Each structure stands twice: as structure tokens, then as C-alpha cells.
Chains A and B, each alone.
Chain A
Amino acid sequence: MTKENGPMAEGPASNGYLKVGNGKYALDLRKVNVHYGSTHAIKDVSMRIRENAATAFIGPSGCGKSTLLRCLNRMNDEIVGCKTTGTIMFKGTNILSNKVDPVALRHTVGMVFQKPNPFPTSIYKNITFGPKVHGIRGKDELDEIVERTLKDSALWEEVKDRLDDPAMSLSGGQQQRLCIARALAVEPDIILMDEPCSALDPIATSKIEDLITELKERYTVVIVTHNMQQAARVSDFTGFMFLGRLVEFGRTTPLFEKPRKTLTEKYITGRFG
């Protein structure tokens, strides 16, 4: 890869690390650029994201990591004046193409937000909203989805007897796990997480982190975090972003232990940011 294409999550197969995921790529980003009005938020980012692995984006506030994440399910389309160029290949399709329907894309690429954002309805209805939108109506089927996703998000035991309670009555950590269950209910291939623990206490955070480790067995997880320890704990690959550029991208352990760029080193050793 040439320099202009930016760093790639590549290394010789003989680099000595364990094989992660199934070796395939879920997403292939090429020269992605994002402009908000006159702000150039993402500059020429190219990277390949592995299937069934957890990839983390780290970097100081305002570096563009959340914006990059929101490209992956076209949530930036909802922001007025936001323009994205480049290509992001997913299952043989450039999802940035005009012909792609973001609504259809989001069936396959789910998202969990920074602050838990359950709908102000019951726990049950929070989860069934997605499947219902996609045409699932049968009560049995919906019940099954609710149970399965709540189990997958490690919330089932805590809420199984009060599924009709308002979602807002749950604790912050429980709300966030409900949001994860809600995202799982539409059966996505990829789950995007935008600083999913930043509004949670350490115990809740640890539960979510365990969950991410489990989820990546079956899903491709992309997580944005400003917490480097968290990136180190949960991710297989890490991309360090600064001022809209992807400075360095690679397997998590070597990136933290032996960063190739001085900028990365400065950031992870806490000398700026």
C-alpha cells in the first residue's frame, strides 16, 4: 500500500500473532473524506475492517473517530450539510453510493450510541420496534427475539419478569445493554458502538466489555472509545486518529506496545490529548 492510502491493518502473516476472526474483511474503506460545511472532518481514511473481530477507533476529542464510525451506517446522512466521499465496500457494494438506501443498510449495520437512548416505552417494545419495522409481526416470533437478544446482551436474568416495565426505569448500564439487545434484534452483521461506556460506572462498563468480547464471536464489532485501556482490553485491531486522519492502524497489542508513529506513542503515553 502506498503512503497516500494511509496505514493499513496489514502485516505479514508470519508476524507471530494469533489469527483473529475468520481472516476475511467485513468493510473496506478507501479514501473516505467527510466535510461538514467548511470543516474537513475526515481526511483520506483508508482501512480494512476484519469480520468477526473487534476494531477500535481511538484518538483525542474531535479527531473524527465518531464521524468515521457514523459513515459505516450512513448516520451522517441525517446531519445537514455533511458530505461523504470515497468508497466503503461492504459485501461487494459501495455503501456510500447514491443508489444505496441507508434505511436498508442499517438493517445490516446496527449501532449503539454514547448515551443509552432507550425509547420511552416498555423494555419489550424497545426490542420489538426494529423487527416490527422489518415486517415481523407474529407474537411468538417477537417473544423469541426478545428473549434471545436479552440473553445475548446478558440482561435477561435481570429483566425477564418485568418486560413491560418502562425502559427508563432501568439503570444506566442496564439501559445500555437494552440498547445493545435492541440493535441485535434486527440481526445485523456489524455492530457499531460509539463510546458505549462513557456514561456508565465501572461495574456496568465491565459488563458491557465482557459482552463485546462475546459478541465479536458472531458479529463484526467496531467501537469508538476515548479510553485507551478499554481499546486494549476489548479490541483486536486499533486505529489511532488525529485531526481527521488515520495515523496508525494495526493489531491492538503491537500498536500499544510498539507504536510505529511518534504521534501514536505520544498519545498512548499520555503526553498530549
Chain B
Amino acid sequence: MTASAYISGAAMTAFGKLPGFSSLDLQARAAEEALQESGLARGDIDGLLVGYATTAPHLMPATRFAEAFGLRPSCAYGISVGGATGLAMVALARHLVAAGAARNVLVVAGENRRSGQSGASVTRTLSEVGDPLHEVPNGASVPAYYALAASEYMHRTGVSEEDLAELAVLMRRHAVATEGAQFRDPITVDDVMASRPIATPLKLLDCCSVSDGGASVVVSGAPSGSRTALRIAGTGESHRHQHMSSAPQDIAEGARIAAAAALRMSGHSIDQMGRAAIYDSFTITLMMLLEACGLSEPGGTAADARAGRFDRDGGTLPLNTHGGLLSYGHSGVSGGLAHLVEMVRRMREDEASASSRTPLSFLHADGGVFSSHVSLVLEGGA
């Protein structure tokens, strides 16, 4: 029998402009809250995973955090898989627990990316996403790379810029209802269409922002405390390429592979999922990943959004109910981990209110330019 792993605590800070907090401060704030929620003591934490922070690069981010936070774990690792890092740490925490290497793993992310980022670190980070030999000297950077993926996808499917805008509007609608979200003023498709051009077809409101913030979860070998046990029922990964020039013809291929692996492990099908959280660095990222993971038909995402399928209230598959990276905010690794924290909150709420929603959720994130992929399936009511 495969050992099980559960989410025993989950917390995140508000996202946005939080001057006066260092990256370590934000990590500690989120971790303290996640730990309290788990009901565990510092001495119970024997595994630690800490995501990279571009504003506070460190040789040993996990060891550094352990010292500051008063932990002496038996295993501790700093992790870097770009935007997939948050979910990758949760998958790895599950593997550590399943292997018997740790009983309670604290997963931590946080950085003051908005307040603490220097021009030099922006350029360095961007240059690591583009191929130094074949891409970076052309000029342009990450938004333009996703714009290229969008152009090819739209040419193939006939999806329009208004269709993409629909997802920005949906994320904003969810953020309006979420305390701690960076952007809480409602927007319309017209607002998105009229926003400043970045790289066609992407405009400012198709792109996530840059935020300060932190997020943290505790992964345990046994359900802890009185809260609903949320089991990590499936994990799947795929790492197909780093740079766009080396991507497969089907650039979202990695998402298909990771999703299939996570579903296979969970023993559930994608149609059974009651909720979804999908990485949304850009509207096009969200659309292509939703379709690659099988949550929407190819080219059908915008119609699903217009029909209310992804709505926080009343939707059959509520999606990124905190507002996602596009509107809750994007603070490096904690941006991706926030999707999971939000999912945990909503699944617990479902359980507490005896909701008829199926207690199964699907999460997916990519890092780079559709380069690294991680999928998770969470199962409630265990």
C-alpha cells in the first residue's frame, strides 16, 4: 500500500505592495500561520522545502530559513523550477513523506518581489528564461515568449483577443471578493482590450503583476488536528524543454503528460474534479493549460468562462477562486503556492458547509515557457 500524505496546514499573506517586509519576513509570516493551523509544533517539522527568491538569492535558502525560523529538520532543500516551484515542492514533500524520509514537511515561499527588486535582478531573472545563445540577444523577454505561444495557438484555434480577455475579467471578479488580493476593482473585456499593449496579442491586463507576498503549507503523513483531511491523491510532472526554441511542436505537451500522470496515480478522471486551480501568469497560459489538462475542450475555454462554469459562486468547476496570479497577485514562488492555499480553504469550506460538490480538485502549474509542469490531485473527505 502506498503511504498517504495530507495537507495539514496552509496559509498565505495578502499580496501587493508590502513595504518594510524582507523576503524572509514574508516567508516566516506565512509559515508561522501554516504551522499554527496544522496544530504541530516546531519540533514536529522534520522536513523543509523553501522556494527560491529572486530578491534574496541564497546558496542555501532552506537552511537559512530553518535557522531564522527555529527549525532543525532532518532534511532541508532549496527548490527552483520557476513558476512550477510551489506545486513541485508539495509533490516532493509528498514523496519525502511516502518514502519515510520525513513525517511533517514545511513548504515555504515568499519574497518582496515588488518592493525589493533591483533592475539588475530583473534582467538576470529574465535572461535565465531565454536561451543565452539563441534567444536573449534578439531582445524581448518572457511576455513576448508567451505572446509567441499565443499567436501560434490563436492561429490554430481561431480564439480571439476578446476570448483571452474573458479570463482576465474572471480572475478580477474573483479577486474583488477576496480579502488580501492586490487588485479589487472590477474590470470588463473592454478594459482589457484598451489596456496598454505589451506584446501582441497580450496587453497589460492579460499579464500578471509583480507582488510582495508569502505562502506556506504543511504536508504530513497523517491528518492532523480537527480539520478536514485533504489527501494528496496524485502528483505528476513533466520537464520537456527549458527554452522556447527547443520546445516540442505541441508546446503544452508537458501539461498533458503531467496531468495524465497525476490523474492515473489518483485513480480519478478529470471529469470528476469539483474545483480547479491553474497557473495564470498570462491569460494565454491559463487558457492553454486548461485545455491541455483536459478541463476545457480545445478552443472552448472562453465559452466555458462566459457560461459561468468557472465562477466562484454557482460554477460547476470554480477556477482560481482567489483571483489567481492575474489579480490576487504574483510574488514569485508564493504566487503558484497561493493557488493551493486557496484550494485548501475552499475545500474545507465545502466540507464544513456539507456542500454537494465532489471533494476532488485538480491543480497545475508551469515554469519557464511551458517548460516544467506539475499537476496535483487533492481529495477531501478522506
* A, B co-complexed: no
